[in-house]
A and B are shown apart, each in its own frame.
Chain A
Amino acid sequence: MIVFDEVTFTYDGASAPVFGSTSLELGEGGLHLVVGATGSGKSTLLGLCNGHVPHFTGGFVEGKVTVDGKSIEHARPRDFAEFVGMVRQNPRSSFVADTVAHELVYAMENLGWSRAAMRTRLDEILEQLQLGDLANRPLNQLSGGQAQRVAIGAALAAKPRLLILDEPTSGLDIDTAQGVLNLLVNTVTNDGLTVVLSEHRLERVVGLAQQVVVVDRGVVHTGEPSTMMAMSPVVPPIIDLARCQGFAPLPLTVDAARVHRAVLMERLQSHQPEVPRVQREEVVAEVDDVTISYLGRCAIKNVTVTLHRGEVVALVGPNGAGKSTLLGLLSGLAVPTSGSVRVDGDAPTTLRPMQLVKRVGLIPQDPGLVLYGTSVERECSEADHDAGREPGTTALWFRRFQPEVDVVRHPRDLSEGQRLCLALAVIMATAPPLILLDEPTCGLDNAAKEHLGDVLTGLAREGTSVVVATHDVEFMAEIADRIIVLSNGSVVADGPARLVISRGDAPAPQIFELTSPEPWLTTGEVLAALARQP
């Protein structure tokens, strides 16, 4: 189906190839998972499968990529349209039409389907993706999960035999992501479709894959999931634990790991997870009985939250539960309809921008939005200037977060993780007592996530209050001292992380699923406890 024959790919102007002399063959049927760190070339590999790379990105291909017997050298993506369906990151940016129905039929129109055939197929797709009542909905009114389903539907509409997806569940909450993945698995089993997908949150998909492709520092390996997971540079927490403990055969899911539970729990019997003490004394921000209604709908209602110096708070809940609104409220971007907000003593909406940033810093989901400089260096000096700090303050923060980044690089050319750290350094220039992050782990690989976790907990231990809105259960488990669960605009649970998770109010991380009812949350704390054993 897809054959790479001694392929070396180099982007224009790059000194080293993304990957060198790679040979690989993906057969018909099944779900193939592409795994690798950020910037390892996963997207490049996927893009080569319909000629998107190099026709739209530039770059030089040595060797031969053959898809459906056609070489991508001469054929353009449009020539593969009836064979390959492509879903790229961020579905909204790939929409070409105005309503769901028009978006879904677009490929069929281009390929010259008859009107009757289009109508039949449209009904099939609407039913298969559970989009029936949305057919005439404008695309800009879809929720995240709906938008992702429409993008998948649009790629599937012209009945391709191969579907390629680049991180289809990033940005989706747990239930929605699970829905999208189940749908893909159903299509694979029912329609005999071949699916190739890349994903950062491996815990969601690795148990479903038939074959895994690992892209690691310019080398591509293919094989069975368990053999590949044994060597992969990125693995989900349960596999990490299993690898460290030498479980054999390597379990890919929590269920598979349960056979080892009894032994593990016995060894952990006399231990407690080490919990850092957080002094909840000094109040940094207070949200008092706030309701925001917008066009007759409550974005959040009667929310009361108090934030203390030095704690890391995870804000969780499904898409649209009001997480971003609460962050907006704390940062002065959203105005309360009733109730009051105080950050460091003042209502954020009454403060001038300059006063505001000394009290609270917000990093939006796309950190690029707060970066304007043409190089890291200039970004830092501008931030010093904006904040009225001594030259070098921001640069110092950035070096602390990312010691090895070349400061002449353009912020756009940094990796997601590095860009996030730059935005964090810019925000920290004014040394606000409260920092807020909206979905910071979208597009971060495990290593970058771990690094960000260390950076944030480090800041918290020095007295900054950190609030992170996230869908990422494992990240939440790693960093949170306290979890606030939002649902439909209301706070449904608020308390110490371990308590909220063990009561089942917040989604459970993999390690807790294995060890429950004992409250172990992360691989790190389990391994630390085992290491303390005599």
Chain B
Amino acid sequence: MNKVPLTLHPGAWWFFGLGILIGTSQVANPLLNLVTIAALSFVVALRRPLGRFGNPFVTSLKVGVVLIALRLLLAVAFGARTSGVVLVRLPEIVLPDWLAGVCLGGPVTSTLLVQAFCLGLSLATVLAIFGACSTLAPPERLLQSLPRAMYEVGLSLAIALAFLPELVASAQALKAARRLRGRPTNGIAGLRGTFVPILEGALERSITLAASMDARGFGRTSREGKRLIAQVVALCGLGAIICGGAGLLAGASPTLLWAVLLVVGTVGLVVALHLRSAVLLRTAFEEQVFTLRSLMVGMLGAFGGIGLLVAGHLHPGVLDVPAPGAWPLATPLSLAALFGIVVAGLVAPKVTS
């Protein structure tokens, strides 16, 4: 008997990620950010579904390092003059009047570098959260748990996502092939002439995929007529929402009319979705239940994020870039909040492969 492995609802990890993001987006303290990344690494190492779709977390860390380097470089080149220990004095270029406020070169101070590093690191942390989420719960899995009526939308997104690794693979194959023909494989010259074959390959593959899906009954409906009705209702609903929303935002009177339009449009959309799922034959093999564990993992993320905010409220400054010359500090509460990440990793079930 084949048993489907015990897994979390894919949404759980994404709720978890969003929760942490609430707090982390406010954090510039490098100590806290490094602890966050370390905790995420622990969770990923512990609960990664084995051997699927590479490891976006590692990629996100690499991109993070590049971001920090870029940030430092920009700070050195265009950084505002700040006080602090001058490390190097670069030749300063005087810019014309119409570029007032922008400096090029000049003294590079320790404060400038620390500030740039901290801000770069907080960006890298946000990126690492997304990387961790897509490793722990591949986005295509998340899309699969969309409501039935939105299945087609989810599927087109999933195919688009699946194309990225495909493109990388075909680019690598082409690079090897260029070497076989004695052509340069690097630089601009190496890029030339690979673009069209890659796109051709991708297009061909998408047609094969469409044919394969169709042959296995994709898009089979029970009643053709209702499908049209559903589309018309959805379109009208969307129109009403746009008009109502625009009216409300613009503050045009009568406000009541716009509000009613907004409500009617929303109802229309819901009805359309319902009609659509009645027409589709499709059933789902895997029931994705939002279990208690899924709820706990999601809540732990929110706990972490909100905990950080509270810590920042109680001890102003703990989330910020440390003062010049001072070491970054962490309060027990902020560390406890981040410990929530580790706990989430322990709570989540082990993914068997």
The segment from A2-10, A114-122, A277-285, A502-510 found at the interface with B is: A114-122
**Among candidates B53, B185, B193, B218, residue contacting A110 with C-beta atoms closer than 8 Å:** B218
What residues of A have a CB within 8 angstroms of the CB of B141 in the complex? Answer: 98
Q: Is the CB of B51 within 8 A of A136?
A: no
Which chain B positions have C-beta within 8 A of A50? Answer: 215
- Would B182 and A158 count as touching, CB distance under 8 A? no
Cross-chain contact of A78 among B51, B180, B219, B285 (Cβ < 8 A): B219
Number of interface residues of A (CB under 8 A): 67
Given A56-B210, A78-B217, A372-B197, A98 and B52 contact (CB-CB distance below 8 Å): yes
Residue in chain B with minimal CB distance to A82: B217
Complex Cα spacing A372 to B213, Å: 30
Q: Are A88 and B285 in contact (CB under 8 A)?
A: no
Docked pose: A358 CA to B181 CA in angstroms? 10
Q: With a CB–CB cut-off of 8 A, which chain A residues contact B182?
A: 353-354, 356-358, 386-387, 430
Q: Which residues of B contact A369 (CB under 8 A)?
A: 173-174, 177
> Does B176 belong to the interface (CB within 8 Å)?
yes
B contact patch SS: loop
Chain A residue with the shortest CB-CB distance to B212: A94
A513 to chain B, nearest CB (A): 37
Considering only CB atoms, which chain B residue lies closest to A332 in the complex? B179
Contact A81 B220 (CB under 8 A): yes
CB <8 Å contact, B181 and A88: no
Assembled-state Cα–Cα distance A81/B220 (Å)? 9
| Also in contact, A112 and B216, with CB within 8 A (given A101-B4, A123-B2, A353-B184) | no
- Interface centre among B1, B214, B215, B285, by most chain A C-beta atoms within 10 angstroms, is B215
Task: Flag whether A299 is at the interface (Cβ < 8 A).
Answer: no
Choose among A106, A110, A118, A122 the residue with the greatest number of B CB atoms under 10 Å from its CB.
A110
CB B62 to nearest CB in A, in angstroms, measures 19
Of A77, A132, A154, A331, the contact of B180 (CB 8 Å cutoff)? A331
- B1 cross-chain contacts in A, Cβ below 8 A: 123
- The reply to whether B52 and A138 contact each other, CB–CB distance below 8 Å, is yes
Residue among A77, A109, A138 making CB contact with B215, cutoff 8 Å: A77
Bound complex: CA of A118 vs CA of B284, how far in Å? 9
User: A-B contact count, CB below 8 Å?
Assistant: 153
- A364 lies within 8 A of B180 (CB): yes
Q: How far is the CB of B36 from chain A (nearest CB, A)?
A: 29
B217 touches A353 (CB 8 A): no
The listed residue (B4, B196, B217) touching A111 by CB distance below 8 A is B217
Expressed in whole angstroms, the minimum distance between the Cβ of B256 and any Cβ of chain A is 44
A101 touches B281 (CB 8 A): no
| Nearest CB of chain A from residue B154's CB, rounded to whole Å | 13
Contacts of A110 in B (CB 8 A): 216-220, 281-282
- The digit string for A88-109, where 1 denotes a CB below 8 A from any CB of B, is 1000011110110110011111
Does A443 reach chain B (CB closer than 8 Å)? no
CB-defined contacts of B5 to chain A, threshold 8 Å = 136
A102 cross-chain contacts in B, Cβ below 8 A: 285-286
Bound Cα distance A361, B244 (Å): 66
Query: How far, in Å, is B216 (CB) from chain A's closest CB?
Result: 4
B181 and A108 contacting across the interface, CB-CB below 8 Å: no
**Alpha-carbon separation in the docked complex, A354 to B174 (Å):** 16
Q: For the complex, is A76 an interface residue (Cβ under 8 Å from B)?
A: yes
Contacts A110-B217, A110-B218, A356-B179 given; does A115 touch B212 at CB 8 Å: no
16 extra A-B contacts, CB within 8 A, seeds A109-B285, A110-B220: A77-B211, A78-B219, A81-B216, A88-B212, A102-B285, A106-B216, A111-B220, A118-B285, A123-B2, A126-B2, A136-B352, A333-B176, A333-B179, A353-B181, A353-B184, A357-B181
A-B pairs with lowest CB-CB distance, top 9? A81-B217, A357-B182, A110-B217, A112-B281, A94-B212, A107-B216, A369-B177, A105-B285, A77-B215
Q: Tell me the B residues contacting A by CB distance below 8 Å.
A: 1-2, 4-5, 51-53, 138, 140-141, 173-174, 176-185, 193, 196-197, 205, 207-220, 281-287, 352-353
